């Protein structure tokens, strides 16, 4: 599976809700069970068939992402890096990525969003197939006032989008996974900063909605979403990932495995990754995969 769409992985922000854990390291580099948080959104991009990715983070943290991910060659991918100088909104990621995108479509994922489940690859392929306009996801949550909220009718047509409403019109939040056509950069550049001085992603999505070019897809029942931005959600995600891996005896968001199954890397590269991980459970999993292929 391949796509002309490029990926943007936004891993900026100060992570103040997780202080003091984020005093010296980016939130998206904290572990979620057996791997760094950033592996989960990266795996979303990979399962969408995307091989060219721009990682955006703070000036302090960007070198750490470079150390962790490198140039992408170990995954059969290409990684570029860019700085977001200040937390000026999620939509600013499209402006920062303008040269990287070169007028093409994009998939923007937020670094603290975790999605997993058997239905995820099919959902991502369906979203990627929507070549015109924007496509966002929707997931029911218990506390919609914490998120961007989508109101839609029985036919799935979006009626409204609100950012952290005091009185939500629905219980469906919009996860941080956004598919855009080539117009997104121009729309983002034309946005007016919100009262908090940010280019709001909801304003960008609302512009697509008002032009009749916004598609919404609900998460399948077998796809779970975690917004790992608080202590409790971080623990909940880690426990869920652990239990799912034990129950299914399969790894979630193992980026080397995804690259291998996509045909982007071969056994030697997989084996080298296993040796690099040493005796960790993650490394042992990669070693088993390499052994299976060699058999």
Whether 189 shows a pLDDT value over 60: the answer reads: yes
What percentage of the chain reaches a pLDDT higher than 70? Answer: 98
Q: What are the DSSP E strand ranges found in the chain? A: 6-10, 31-32, 35-36, 52-57, 78-83, 106-110, 113-116, 134-140, 148-152, 158-163, 172-173, 177-180, 214-218, 224-227
For residues 211 and 281, state if they share a domain: no
Q: What is the mean pLDDT of residues 30-45?
A: 96
pLDDT digits (tens, 9 = 90+) for 132-144: 999 999 999 989 9
**How distant, in Å, are the alpha carbons of 60, 79, 189, 238, 280 from that of 259?**
29, 14, 34, 23, 20
d(CA 130, CA 237): 30
Mean pLDDT score, 158-184: 93
Q: What is the CATH number of the domain that holds 121?
A: 3.90.550.10
Q: Are residues 85 and 110 in the same domain?
A: yes
Summarize the confidence of residues 82-93 as an average pLDDT: 94
Is residue 281 one of the residues assigned to a domain? yes
Are 155 and 85 found together in one domain? Answer: yes
Give the total number of structural domains in the chain.
2
111, 175 contact by CB (below 8 A): no
295: three-class secondary structure by DSSP:
coil
Residue 32, token pair as written in the block:
């979620």
pLDDT given at position 73 = 96
pLDDT band, residue 68 (cuts 50/70/90): very high
Question: Pick from 57, 32, 10: which is nearest to 233 by CA?
Answer: 32
Same-domain pairing of 285 and 176: no
The pLDDT value given to residue 294: 60
Cα–Cα distance for residue pair 115/129, rounded to 1 Å = 19
The domain in which residue 251 lies consists of 6-264
Does 1 map to a domain? no
Six token digits for residue 245: 């891996």
pTM of the shown model: 0.94
């Amino acid at each position: 599976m391949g796509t002309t769409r490029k990926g943007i992985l936004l891993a900026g922000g100060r992570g103040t809700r997780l202080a003091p854990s984020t005093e010296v390291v980016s939130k998206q580099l904290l572990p979620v069970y057996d791997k760094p948080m950033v592996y989960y959104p990266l795996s979303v991009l990979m399962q969408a068939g995307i091989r060219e990715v721009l990682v955006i983070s703070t000036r302090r943290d960007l070198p750490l992402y470079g150390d962790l991910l490198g140039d992408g060659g170990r995954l059969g991918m290409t990684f570029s890096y860019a700085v977001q100088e200040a937390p000026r909104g999620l939509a600013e990621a499209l402006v920062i990525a303008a040269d990287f995108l070169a007028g093409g479509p994009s998939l923007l994922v937020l670094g603290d969003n975790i999605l997993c489940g058997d239905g995820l690859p099919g959902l991502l392929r369906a979203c990627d197939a929507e070549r015109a306009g924007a496509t966002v996801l929707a997931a029911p949550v218990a506390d919609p006032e914490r998120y961007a909220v989508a109101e839609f009718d029985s036919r799935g047509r979006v009626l409204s989008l609100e950012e952290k409403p005091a009185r939500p019109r629905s219980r469906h939040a919009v996860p941080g996974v956004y598919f855009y056509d080539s117009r997104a950069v121009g729309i983002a550049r034309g946005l007016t900063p919100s009262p908090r001085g940010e280019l709001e992603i909801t304003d960008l999505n609302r512009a697509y909605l008002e032009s009749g070019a916004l598609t919404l897809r609900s998460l399948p029942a077998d796809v779970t979403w975690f917004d790992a931005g608080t202590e409790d959600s971080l623990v909940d995600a880690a426990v869920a990932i652990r239990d799912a891996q034990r129950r299914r005896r399969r790894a979630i968001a193992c980026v080397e495995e995804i690259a291998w199954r996509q045909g982007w890397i071969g056994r030697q590269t997989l084996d080298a990754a296993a040796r690099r991980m040493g005796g960790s459970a993650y490394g042992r999993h990669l070693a088993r995969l390499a052994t299976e292929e060699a058999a």
